[in-house]
């Protein structure tokens, strides 16, 4: 790596790396964010290392041609206080906005992207079978053939950096380790076992995603009841379907008039059924587009 943080070469090694400390996002973020980077970082463990890695991440992001448009979808953290109680039972929910693109998000995402893109290319160039994540024409899919991930701006992307939480990463690390050791890979080209592993992962991954969405929807409905919300803004996704501006919740609104995607509207909450996990809302009025503080955004398919 050059002094101005341009990557001049890559090397992969099999090493046992000791974990010195477990840095938790919610502990570090208050100390390491856009505001503290501008005003001056306070002294805290691994401050200088994090700052240098963030500088590298910014260079890597620019190298991918990634543009910060300010139109990214918001993300949220869900915190349940189980010591409190609401009308709906134990637990009081707090849903906190966490915009994408924070310094810590950039640091983690870019280092994962460079690892997954580098190892994917290494396996591709070596002719070793692997499982790739590809995106073309907006469609994301798993594949055994190396292909571009247009959303990330890389020509090859293989999930490899998180073998403890994704089976695909474990499979790719098996292949990678065998290659680096000069051994025969566990799965050969056109391997039926590799294809079966990919299919099984896709089914399981979709099930987990549905479960996660279900949990988030439930707690969004609990929050609406808890806060006694009656009116709130939303953006139109398509016919009769909207996304709330201040919550990660998508609703079907049969009374919505025919309007263009992205139109801002105000909704009235009529009824919330926690057992069925449903919210009945009605269209009230159009809202000015220029007042929007959030965008529809497209899901970025990094980690």
Q: Which residues have a Cβ under 8 Å from the Cβ of 81 and sit 6 or more positions away? A: 91, 92, 93, 94
Distance CA 245, CA 73 (A): 10
Q: Strand 89-97 vs strand 278-286: parallel, antiparallel, or unpaired?
A: unpaired
180-186 CB contacts, 8 Å cutoff, 24+ apart: 180/12, 180/13, 180/14, 181/14, 185/128, 185/129
pLDDT at site 300:
46
Q: Which of 57-61, 188-192, 293-297 has the highest mean pLDDT?
A: 57-61
* Structure confidence at residue 106 as a pLDDT band (50, 70, 90): very high
Phi, psi (degrees; rounded to nearest 5) at 211: -65, -40
226 contacts 92 by C-beta, under 8 angstroms: yes
Question: Which residues are paired to 234 by β-bridges?
Answer: 244, 265
* Res 102 pLDDT > 50: yes
Is 234 or 294 the better-scoring residue by pLDDT? Answer: 234
Q: Residue 303: pLDDT band by 50, 70, 90 thresholds?
A: low
**Of 63 and 216, more confident:** 216
Name the residue with tokens 């965008």.
295
Q: What single DSSP character describes residue 30? A: T
Q: Are strands 139-143 and 132-136 parallel, antiparallel or unpaired?
A: antiparallel
Asked if 207 contacts 200 with a C-beta cutoff of 8 angstroms, the reply is no
Beta strands in 67-167 (DSSP E): 76-86, 89-97, 132-136, 139-143
Q: Quote the pLDDT of residue 163.
A: 93
SS3 assignment, position 91: strand
Question: Is a pLDDT exceeding 80 seen at residue 296?
Answer: no
**Mean pLDDT across the stretch 12-37?**
92
Which pTM does this prediction carry?
A: 0.80
What domains, with CATH codes, occur in the chain? 226-291 (2.40.50.140)
233-280 pLDDT, tens digit per residue, is: 999 999 999 999 989 999 999 999 999 999 999 999 999 999 999 999
Please tell me whether residue 194 adopts helix, strand or coil conformation.
helix
Span 46-93, pLDDT tens digits? 999 999 999 999 999 998 876 554 456 678 889 999 999 989 999 999
Confidence (pLDDT) at 294: 46
């Amino acid at each position: 790596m050059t002094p101005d943080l341009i990557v001049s070469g890559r090397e992969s090694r099999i090493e046992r790396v000791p974990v010195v400390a477990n840095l938790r996002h919610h502990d570090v973020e208050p100390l390491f964010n856009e505001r503290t980077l501008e005003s001056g970082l306070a002294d805290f463990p691994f401050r200088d290392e994090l700052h240098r890695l963030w500088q590298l991440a910014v260079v890597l992001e620019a190298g991918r041609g990634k543009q910060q448009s300010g139109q990214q979808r918001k993300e949220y953290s869900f915190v349940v206080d189980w010591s409190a109680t609401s009308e709906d039972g134990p637990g009081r929910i707090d849903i906190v906005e966490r915009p994408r693109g924070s310094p810590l998000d950039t640091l983690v995402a870019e280092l994962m992207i460079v690892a997954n893109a580098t190892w994917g290319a290494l396996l591709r160039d070596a002719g070793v079978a692997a499982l790739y994540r590809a995106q073309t024409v907006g469609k994301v899919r798993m594949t055994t053939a190396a292909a571009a991930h247009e959303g990330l701006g890389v020509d090859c992307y293989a999930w490899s950096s998180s073998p403890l939480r994704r089976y695909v990463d474990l499979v790719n690390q098996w292949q990678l380790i065998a290659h680096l050791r000069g051994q025969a890979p566990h799965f050969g080209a056109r391997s039926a076992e590799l294809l079966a592993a990919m299919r099984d992962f896709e089914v399981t991954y979709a099930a987990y995603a549905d479960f996660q969405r279900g949990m988030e929807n439930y707690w969004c409905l609990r929050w609406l009841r808890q806060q006694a919300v009656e009116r709130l803004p939303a953006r139109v996704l398509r016919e009769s379907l909207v996304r709330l501006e201040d919550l990660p919740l998508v609703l079907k609104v049969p009374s919505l008039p025919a309007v263009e995607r992205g139109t801002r509207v105000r909704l009235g909450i009529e009824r919330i059924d926690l057992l069925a996990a449903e919210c009945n809302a009605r269209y009230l009025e159009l809202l000015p587009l220029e007042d929007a503080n959030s965008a529809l955004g497209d899901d970025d398919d990094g980690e």
